[in-house]
Amino acid sequence: MSSVASTDCFTVIRERHSVKHFDPSHQLSEQAVQELLEIASGAPSAWNLQHWKFLAIADRPVKQKLLPIANGQKQVVEASVVVAVLGDLQANRNAEAVFEPDVQSGRLPEEVKSALVDQIEQAYAGNPAYARDEAIRNASLAAMQLMLAAKAKGLDSCPMGGYNPDKLAQEFRIPERYVPVLLVAIGKAAAPARPSMRFPVEQVMVWNEF
């Protein structure tokens, strides 16, 4: 069983490539988008604070509004959905909601929960750079999981960093609590992804220390 699962996983990883041209006639239901985002939400995060928020942009007029913000990149309007992956700058506020169910079920002692909450608050207190780093780092994990989930369901994706985050926040009324991390276009490829090279592993790894 594990062999089959591993093979499927590796195939998904190896076959996921960034697609630039999507079939504009392909649509995804709200349920299908929600299923993808549910899987993405299973990504790991520091203290399990789940530092992400997803803005799903699927209606064509709204995608047209996004187009100039994304520097005219056509995948924004051609994809079935564009997910703006946002990082939570105040993820420390999630701590109680994250840990209290474990306390109630008996899996986590109250004193351990209190210690964890204190630890989190100390890390965030007066440290906006830390909060931003954590928001971007952890939301990026969810973005990657989203793209792998899409590929596993026979869809294609493209992560996009070429957009104006300030205009995105302004035009889509994103609360200041969230920082834009990535746009992820998802849909059916209209043309294969352009082949891209990868450095050999010997070039990108170092054993033990530099």
- The closest of 2, 6, 24, 23 to 14, measured between CA atoms, is 6
Instruction: Please give the C-alpha separations between residue 20 and each of 24, 42, 62, 119, 191, in angstroms, as whole numbers.
Output: 12, 27, 19, 43, 8
Cβ atoms within 10 Å of 2's Cβ, excluding its own: 6
The full length of the chain comes to 210
**% of the chain residues with pLDDT over 70:** 97
pLDDT at 96 over 60: yes
The 3-state DSSP class for residue 138 equals helix
Cα torsion 61, 175, 158, 49: sign: negative
What's the confidence (pLDDT) of residue 1?
A: 39
**How confident is the model over 89-101, as a mean pLDDT?**
97
Is the pLDDT confidence value at 6 over 90? no
> Any idea where the domains of the chain sit in the sequence?
23-190
pLDDT in tens, 128-175: 999 999 999 999 999 999 999 999 999 999 999 999 999 999 999 999
| 3-state DSSP assignment of residue 52 | strand
- CATH T-level topology, domain 23-190: NADH Oxidase (3.40.109)
**Exposed/middle/buried for residue 125 (C-beta within 10 Å: 0-12, 13-18, 19+):** exposed
What pLDDT, on a 0 to 100 scale, did the predictor assign at position 148? 97
pLDDT of residue 5: 46
Q: Is 193 helix (H, G, I), strand (E, B) or coil?
A: coil
**Bridge partner list, 83:** 56, 184
- How far is 51 from 46, CA to CA, in rounded Å? 8
Taking 90 as the threshold, does the pLDDT of residue 195 lie above it?
no
* Tokens (6 digits) for 112: 């351990």
- Residue 4 — pLDDT band, cuts 50, 70, 90? very low
Tokens found for residue 27 = 């649509």
Residue with the two structure tokens 């530092």: 51
Using one digit for the tens of pLDDT, what is the confidence trace for 32-72?
999 999 999 999 999 999 999 999 999 999 999 999 999 99
Strand order across the beta sheet in which 81-88 lies:
52-57, 81-88, 178-187, 156-160
Strand partners, 53: 86
